[in-house]
């Protein structure tokens, strides 16, 4: 499997390809759909971050505003008050690479200055295109996510992905973001209106490799997993791990999850099988 180096801020990088990379979700919010309020206190957030690193997360993704359906928007000042102290403390500890989950240019800039290495934009640069400028100027890794919110989608799930993400990539290029800084995220659950739409996206995920960038999967605890398993959000760790395995086989490089340990183990076994598969004689593959 080809190795691609993901360039990040502060002179850091991640090698993607041969081994899956797990990103631990750290929501410092009162209203996220499955863990709202659990880690809003900075000391609780840091404790959870350390736990996820011990379980195998290479990156901690810190978010200060819920993006669940029907979320209540907050001000940039509120968002920064939640995420910046946690990012600064994580950076001082040096325990893991740090991502900030934001669509605001000012929050992204301040977060990178506080020690974040990656900006994760759930609006794919199409809410505040200035995030591209922040990435270009700081060298931060940039996750560009697809969303179907606040627009008319195309009926074909992959055609809509390609339409949206190509527009986002045009914004990134206009902002002088290097290709080596970019990872794409299909945005499972973000205005994918039905469980079937999410399943279709998962079944056809490998088609997104045509865009030529590393891919992130963010299925963790999503509603379509609950529809298939009958489990409540906090009970969907095993279902999430199953989607991680499927999406690894279909080309995903990074996996953004709440439950780190079970996904690390599931992906380690998947990677071991993939590595072994390359060693088998051609007629036995």
Please list the active-site residues.
222, 256
CA distance linking residue 19 with residue 275, whole number of Å: 9
CA distance linking residue 94 with residue 181, whole number of Å: 21
CA torsion 201-22-103-197 (nearest 10°) is 10
Cβ count near 186 (within 10 Å): 28
Bridge-based pairing of strands 141-145 and 4-7 is unpaired
Contact 27, 39 (CB under 8 A): yes
As a 3-state breakdown, the chain gives helix, strand, coil percent values, each rounded to 5, of 50, 15, 35
Nearest of 130, 93, 119, 143 to residue 9 by alpha carbon: 119
Give 262-270's long-range contacts (Cβ < 8 A, gap of 24+): 262/237, 262/238, 263/22, 263/237, 264/22, 264/55, 264/56, 264/57, 265/241, 266/241, 266/242, 267/20, 267/22, 268/20, 269/245, 270/20, 270/244, 270/245
């Amino acid at each position: 499997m080809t190795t691609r180096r993901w360039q990040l801020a502060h002179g850091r990088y991640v090698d993607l390809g041969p081994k899956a990379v797990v990103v631990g979700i750290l929501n410092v919010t009162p209203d996220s759909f499955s863990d709202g309020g659990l880690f809003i206190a900075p000391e609780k957030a840091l404790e959870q971050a350390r736990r996820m690193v011990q379980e195998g997360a290479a990156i901690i993704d810190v978010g200060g505003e819920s993006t669940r359906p029907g979320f209540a928007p907050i001000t940039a000042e509120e968002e920064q008050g939640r995420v910046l102290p946690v990012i600064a403390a994580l950076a001082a500890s040096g325990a893991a690479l740090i991502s900030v989950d934001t669509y605001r240019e000012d929050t992204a800039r301040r977060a990178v200055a506080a020690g974040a290495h990656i900006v994760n934009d759930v609006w794919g640069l199409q809410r505040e295109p200035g995030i591209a400028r922040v990435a270009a100027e700081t060298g931060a890794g940039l996750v560009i996510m697809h969303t179907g919110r606040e627009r008319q989608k195309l009926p074909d799930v992959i055609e809509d992905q390609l339409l949206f993400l190509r527009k986002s990539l045009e914004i990134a290029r206009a902002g002088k973001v290097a290709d080596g800084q970019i990872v794409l995220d299909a945005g499972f659950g973000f205005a994918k209106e039905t469980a079937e739409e999410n399943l279709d996206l998962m079944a056809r995920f490998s088609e997104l490799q045509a865009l030529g960038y590393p891919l992130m999967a963010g299925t963790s605890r999503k509603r379509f997993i609950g529809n298939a398993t009958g489990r409540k959000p906090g009970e969907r760790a095993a279902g999430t791990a199953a989607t991680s395995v499927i999406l690894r086989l279909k080309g995903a490089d990074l996996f953004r999850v709440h439950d780190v340990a079970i996904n690390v183990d599931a992906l380690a076994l998947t990677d071991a099988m993939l590595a072994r598969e390359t060693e088998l004689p051609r007629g036995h593959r």
